């Protein structure tokens, strides 16, 4: 009996030992596979298309940083969740920074925070950051990597106009939400290869749009009407006093023309902004203190 018990105990011990060994092997294999995929991901991740959305693993770092305490924890969580959706879908980072300038220019503050915080996705560290400084009422958008091309100067200006509206009413979370929505629209447009959508015009823009339409309509419509009806049709009704040109009365064989003498009277140079026709829009860039190329723009609210 005892022998049987000992034998069963030995078998059980052996089974436990085997089970532990199998687990260790599996764990080791899992770690090895994880490491292998991590390395491969690091190598081949760089070949991802610039604007192609891929389910990038977003680092767990906070994307909404509130250094001045203007956001509630609910707003912060909600904004973070919104950003998570965008970054996962488009593979470019979105960061919201509520902070003071700490004696820096808005551009330096935003660029440095982005560079030093290790933000940006993909090999080019692509992403966009909005700095909101509630105390000095500054805003600045900093772009990096592939996001520089996505957010042209005009796009940044459009987004700025959109976010200024809630920010000027101290709606800090609202400004953040508008920013994330706008970045999503531009990411989508870039992915579709479509024209970058304009921002919703405000009353000022609307006034100029309609004023332009009215003036151009009256001047253009009136001009064409005057040219066709009055200059063409009406002028045809009266053909008095039109002495024909008598150039044909000159005898060409008798015509003698000396060489043209010419003298330069003046040289004038004019410089006008040039837009490459192949580009619809362009992004101006600068280099941050950390030596990283950024695009961006900003203003007051």
Partner 1 sequence: MVNAQYKCPSCSAPIEFEPSSGLMACQWCLSKFPVAEVEQFNRKLQEATGGGVGDAPTWLEAEVGVAEGTAAQSEVIDDFTGMESLVCNSCGAQIVADPTEISMRCGFCNNTFVAHTRIESTAVPDAIIPFAIDKNGMLAAFDAATKGKWLLPGPFKDRRILAEATGAYLPYWFHDGEVSGTVTMEASDRKSWIEGREEVIETTTYQLSRDASSQFRAIPVCGTTKLDPIRAAGVEPFNVADSTDFGSAYLSGYAAHTFDIQKEETIAQADKRAKEAFVEMVRGSVREFGNVTVTGANLTVKRTGIWYLLLPVWLIVIAYEGVNYPFAVNGQTGEVIGEFPISRKRLKAFRLAFFIPFMLIFGWLGYMLMSVLVA
Q: How far is the C-alpha of 188 from the C-alpha of 190, rounded, in Å? A: 5
Q: Kind of pairing, strands 93-98 and 138-144? A: unpaired
Give the angle subtended at the CA of 120 by the CAs of 119 and 121, to the nearest 5°.
130
* Range in contact with partner 1 (rule: CB under 8 A) among 14-22, 65-73, 140-148, 259-267: 259-267
* Range in contact with partner 1 (rule: CB under 8 A) among 43-51, 65-73, 93-101, 199-207: 199-207
Show contacts with partner 1 in window 56-75 (CB under 8 A): none
Whether the Cβ atoms of residue 121 and residue 143 lie closer than 8 Å to each other: no
Q: How far is the C-alpha of 137 from the C-alpha of 290, rounded, in Å? A: 25
Please count the residues of this chain forming the interface with partner 1, following the rule CB under 8 A. Answer: 66
* Range in contact with partner 1 (rule: CB under 8 A) among 24-32, 165-173, 266-274, 290-298: 266-274
Of 69 and 244, CB closest to partner 1: 244
Of 47 and 271, CB closest to partner 1: 271
* Range in contact with partner 1 (rule: CB under 8 A) among 32-40, 113-121, 247-255, 285-293: 247-255
Element (H, E) at 31: helix 2-44
Whether the Cβ atoms of residue 95 and residue 65 lie closer than 8 Å to each other: yes
Binding status of residue 195 toward partner 1 by CB under 8 A? no
CB atoms under 10 Å from CB of 116, counted, come to: 11
Show contacts with partner 1 in window 222-241 (CB under 8 A): 222, 224-225, 228-229, 233-234, 236-241
Of 193 and 244, CB closest to partner 1: 244
Whether the Cβ atoms of residue 191 and residue 52 lie closer than 8 Å to each other: yes
In degrees and rounded to multiples of 5, residue 269 shows phi and psi of -115, 140
Among 82, 126, 158, 288, binds partner 1 (CB under 8 A): 158
Of 55 and 272, CB closest to partner 1: 272
Of 277, 53, 298, 274, the C-alpha closest to 151 is 298
Binding status of residue 197 toward partner 1 by CB under 8 A? no
**Chain residues that interact with partner 1, rule: CB under 8 A:** 154, 157-158, 198-199, 201, 204-205, 208-222, 224-225, 228-229, 233-234, 236-247, 249-251, 254-274, 282
């Amino acid at each position: 009996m005892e022998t049987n018990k000992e034998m069963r105990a030995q078998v059980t011990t052996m089974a436990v030992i085997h089970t532990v060994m199998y687990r260790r092997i599996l764990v080791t294999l899992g770690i090895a596979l994880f490491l292998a995929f991590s390395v491969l991901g690091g190598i081949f991740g760089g070949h991802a298309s610039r604007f192609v959305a891929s389910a990038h693993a977003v680092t767990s770092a906070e994307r909404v940083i509130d250094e001045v305490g203007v956001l509630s924890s609910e707003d912060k969580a909600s904004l973070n969740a919104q950003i998570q959706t965008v970054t996962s879908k488009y593979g470019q980072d979105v960061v919201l920074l509520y902070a003071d300038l700490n004696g820096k220019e808005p551009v330096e503050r935003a660029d440095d925070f982005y560079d030093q915080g290790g933000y940006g996705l993909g090999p080019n560290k692509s992403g966009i950051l909005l700095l909101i400084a509630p105390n000095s009422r500054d805003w600045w958008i900093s772009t990096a990597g592939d996001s520089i091309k996505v957010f042209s100067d005009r796009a940044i200006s459009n987004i700025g106009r959109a976010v200024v509206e809630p920010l000027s009413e101290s709606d800090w979370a609202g400004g953040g939400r508008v920013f994330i929505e706008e970045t999503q629209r531009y990411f989508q447009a870039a992915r579709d290869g479509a024209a970058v959508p304009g921002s919703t015009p405000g009353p000022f823009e609307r006034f100029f749009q309609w004023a332009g339409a009215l003036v151009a309509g009256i001047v253009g419509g009136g001009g064409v009407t005057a040219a066709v009806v009055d200059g063409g049709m009406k002028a045809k009704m009266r053909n008095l006093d039109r002495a024909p040109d008598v150039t044909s009365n000159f005898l060409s064989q008798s015509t003698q023309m000396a060489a043209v003498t010419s003298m330069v009277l003046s040289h004038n140079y004019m410089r006008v902004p040039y837009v490459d026709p192949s580009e619809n829009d362009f992004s101006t860039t600068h280099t941050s203190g950390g030596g990283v190329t950024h695009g961006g723009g900003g203003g007051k609210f």
